[in-house]
Chain A
C-alpha cells in the first residue's frame, strides 16, 4: 500500500469505530461513554464491571448483536456494490442489479405467507436471492449479443421487476392483519430482531464472498476495463465474471435475508470510499467494508427506533417477525416485545 492510501483508510476506520461506539451508546436506554468503556474493559479483563447489570445486558445482549450484524450487513452490501460497479463498468449499479434483493424479498414474503418460522423465512430469502441471480445469469447467457454485460444487466432489471410483481401478488393474497404487516416490516429492512445466534448465518456467507472478492482484487481492476481489453490482457473474462457474481450474490443474499431489503448502502458507500482511497480494488474493498460497516448503523438504528421495540428487553424480542407471521396484531407484538 502506498502512502496515499493511509489517510483515506484512517478516515474509513474512524467512521467505523465512531459508528460502532455511537450505536452502542445511543438509544432508548442511553449508555454513557464511561459506562460503555467499563463494560467493555470488564469483559476483556474478566472482572465484574462497576455498572448496573442492565447496562451490560443492553450492550452485550441487545445492541451488541444488532450493531455487529448492522456493521456486517453494511460492509457486505458495500463490498458487493463495489464489485458489481467494477464488473459492470457502471458507477450507478447497486448490489441488487441482478435481482438478488427482489429474489430474497419474494422468498421471504413466501415464507411469511406459508407461516414458516424465522429461520425458514431467512433460508427462503437467502435461497430466493441465489436462485434469482442464477436465473438471470442463465437467461442472460442464453441470449447471443455483442455486449453480454448489457444483456445481463437488462435481464436483471426485467427479472427483478417480475419478482417484484410476485411480491405484490403474495402481499395481495396475504392475511392483511397478521401476515401483511410482517411482510411490510421485513421489506422495510430491520435488525430489531437480531440476536447472537443470527450472527453466524450472516457472517459465514459474508466472510466467504468477501474473501473471494479480496483474492481477486487485482483481477477486478482489470475486469473494469472493456471486455476485449481484459481478454487481450490474458484474463478468462467469462469464468471470472461467474466467480465475481457468485461471491457478490452470496454476500448480498445473506445480508438481505438477515436485515431485509436495505438499498442505498451498496450504491453510495463505494463512491465515498473511492474518493477516499481511489479506485484500486485492493484498497477499495477494505475501505468500503469499514465505511459500509460504519454507515449502515445509522440506517438500522433508525428502523429499530421506528419499530417501537424496547432496547433492554431481549427475551421475546428475537422472534418479533415470527409473532407477526403467526397472525398476532402489531400492537400485541409490541406489548410482547417490551415485556
Chain B
C-alpha cells in the first residue's frame, strides 16, 4: 500500500507552511525527513495522518483519498508514534500496546482476547514480552522499541504503514518491522543519514516558510 501526497499545500488556518509537496511511501519504506526547526516537518506528518487537512492537493492511501476514510479506518491502516510522549498515568506496557488496537473495536468494546494475543505476539517480536506487566512510565530506557511495538500492533492482516517521528532514534538499528517508517529529524539531532534509506518511489520537497 502506498501513502502519498500530491501537490500538497500544508499549513494552519492563518499560515502556509509548505507548497507543492509530493511524497510517496510504500509499505516497508523508511524515510527520514530533514529540515530546520519550524520548517514544516511535523505539519507534513500531521497532514499525512489526516489530523490536519491539506490546504490544497490531496493525500491518498492506496487508491482511496485519505479524507474519504473514517478516522477508525484510517487508524487501522496508519499508526503514529510521536517523538515525545507525556505519560500521565502508569499504564502497563501491555495496556499501551493494546491501545494500538483501539480502532479495531467498537465504541464500547474492550480489547478482546484476540487483541491481547496480538499484543503479546508483538511484544515478543520486539523481545520485551517480559516487561508486559511493568508500568510504561519507568520503561523509558527503551522508548523506541515499545513505541514501535505500539504501531506494529495496529493491524493483523497486513503490515501497517507507520509514521514515526522519533528524532533521537534514527541510528541505524535494523527494525524488524516491515512498515515504512518515516522519521523526522532536525539538523542538530544528527546522525541521521545512515537510516535515511529510501526504498520505493519517494520524493519530497520542502519549502521553508
Q: CA–CA, A221 to B90, complex, Å?
A: 11
Closest chain B CB from A144 CB (angstroms): 8
Which residues of the partner chain B approach A86 to less than 8 Å between Cβ atoms?
89
Q: Which of B22-30, B56-64, B80-88, B119-127 contacts A (4 or more CB under 8 A)?
A: B80-88
- Which residue in chain A gives the minimum CB-CB distance to B12? A146
Q: A336 at the A/B interface (Cβ < 8 Å)?
A: no
Task: Say yes or no for A294: interface residue by CB 8 A criterion.
Answer: no
Please tell me if A315 contacts chain B, counting CB pairs below 8 Å. no
Mark B60-96 against chain A: 1 for CB-CB distance below 8 A, else 0: 0000000000111111101110100110111110010
Complex CA gap A216/B99 in Å reads 14
For A146, give the chain B residue with the smallest CB separation: B12
Interface residues of A in 68-106 (CB under 8 A from B): 86, 89-91
Chain B residues positioned under 8 Å from A231 (CB to CB): 51, 71
Inside 8 A of B72's CB, which chain A residues have their CB? Answer: 234
Chain A CB within 8 A of B55 CB: no
> A234–B46 contact, CB under 8 A?
no
Among the listed stretches A14-22, A259-267, A277-285, A325-333, which one makes contact with chain B, having 4 or more residues with CB under 8 Å of it?
A: A277-285
Contact status of A218 and B80, CB under 8 A, knowing A233-B103, A234-B71: no
B11 at the interface (CB under 8 A from A): no
Per-residue contact bits, chain A 217-254, to B (CB 8 Å; 1 contact, 0 not): 11101101110110111111000000000000000000
Contacts of A216 in B (CB 8 A): 107-108
- B49 adjacent to chain A (CB < 8 Å): yes
CA distance A293 to B169 in the complex (A): 47
| B92 proximity list for chain A (CB < 8 A) | 278, 280
The reply to whether B111 and A218 contact each other, CB–CB distance below 8 Å, is yes
Is the beta-carbon distance between A89 and B108 smaller than 8 angstroms? Answer: no
Q: Assess whether B207 is interfacial by the CB under 8 Å rule.
A: no
Inter-chain CA distance A233–B111, complex, in Å, is 14
With a cutoff of 8 Å between Cβ atoms, the chain A residues found around residue B95 in the complex are 221, 279-280
On chain A, the number of residues with a Cβ less than 8 Å from chain B's Cβ atoms is 28
Q: Is the CB of A222 within 8 A of B82?
A: no
Docked Cα-Cα span, A229 to B100, in Å, equals: 10
Q: Which of A90, A219, A228 contacts B51 (CB 8 A)?
A: A228
Q: Are B85 and A235 in contact (CB-based, < 8 A)? A: no
CB-based contact A278/B82 at 8 Å: no
The answer to whether B102 touches A235, judged by C-beta atoms less than 8 angstroms apart, is yes
Cβ contacts A272-301/B at 8 Å (1 or 0 each): 001000111010000000000000000000
B14 nearest CB across to chain A (Å): 10
* A229 contacts B71, C-beta separation under 8 Å: no
CB-nearest residue of chain A relative to B75? A234
A234 touches B76 (CB 8 A): yes
- Write the chain B residue with the least CB distance to A225: B99
In the complex the two chains form, what is the Cα distance from A228 to B80 in whole Å? 9
A-B pair number, CB within 8 angstroms: 77
Q: Which of A90, A221, A236 contacts B71 (CB 8 A)?
A: A236
B105 at the interface (CB under 8 A from A): yes
Docked-complex contact A279 and B99, CB < 8 angstroms: no
How many Å lie between the Cα of A235 and that of B100 in the bound state? 11
How far does the Cβ of B146 sit from chain A's closest Cβ, in whole Å?
Answer: 14
Interface contact A279-B91, CB-CB below 8 Å = yes
Is A4 engaged at the interface, CB distance under 8 Å to the other chain?
Answer: yes
| Contact status A233-B100, CB under 8 Å | yes
- Among A224, A233, A280, contact of B75 (Cβ-Cβ < 8 Å): A233
Closest residue of A by beta carbon distance from B76: A234
User: A204 contacts the other chain (Cβ, under 8 Å)?
Assistant: no
Interface membership of chain B positions 117-145, coded 1 if the CB is closer than 8 angstroms to chain A and 0 otherwise: 00000000000000001000000000000
Report A-chain residues with C-beta under 8 Å of the C-beta of B88: 89-91, 224
Question: What residues of chain A lie closer than 8 Å to B105, measured between beta carbons?
Answer: 218
Bound-complex Cα distance A89 to B78 (A): 24
Query: Considering only CB atoms, which chain B residue lies closest to A275 in the complex?
Result: B90
Report the minimum CB–CB distance from A103 to chain B (whole Å). 27
Q: Chain B residues with Cβ under 8 A from A26's Cβ?
A: none
Task: Give residues 21-57 of B contacting A (CB, 8 Å).
Answer: 46, 49, 51
In the complex the two chains form, is A279's CB within 8 Å of B90's CB? yes
- In the bound complex, what is the Cα–Cα distance between A140 and B121 (angstroms)? 43
Please tell me if A215 contacts chain B, counting CB pairs below 8 Å: yes
Please give, as numbers and ranges, the residues of chain B lying within 8 Å of A236 by CB-CB distance: 71
B110 at the binding interface (Cβ < 8 Å): yes
Given contacts A232-B79, A234-B72, contact A279 B89 (CB under 8 A): yes
> Known contacts A4-B133, A221-B91, A278-B90: does B102 contact A234 (CB below 8 Å)?
yes
B49 partner residues in chain A, CB cutoff 8 A: 232
Please list 17 pairs of residues, one from A and one from B, whose beta carbons are closer than 8 Å in the complex, sorted by A's number.
A4-B133, A86-B89, A218-B102, A219-B102, A224-B88, A228-B82, A232-B49, A233-B75, A233-B99, A234-B70, A234-B72, A234-B74, A234-B75, A274-B89, A278-B90, A279-B90, A279-B95
> Which 3 A-B pairs give the minimum distances between C-beta atoms?
A234-B75, A234-B103, A279-B89
Known: A91-B88, A233-B75. 7 other contacts (CB 8 A): A215-B108, A221-B99, A228-B46, A228-B80, A229-B85, A234-B74, A234-B103
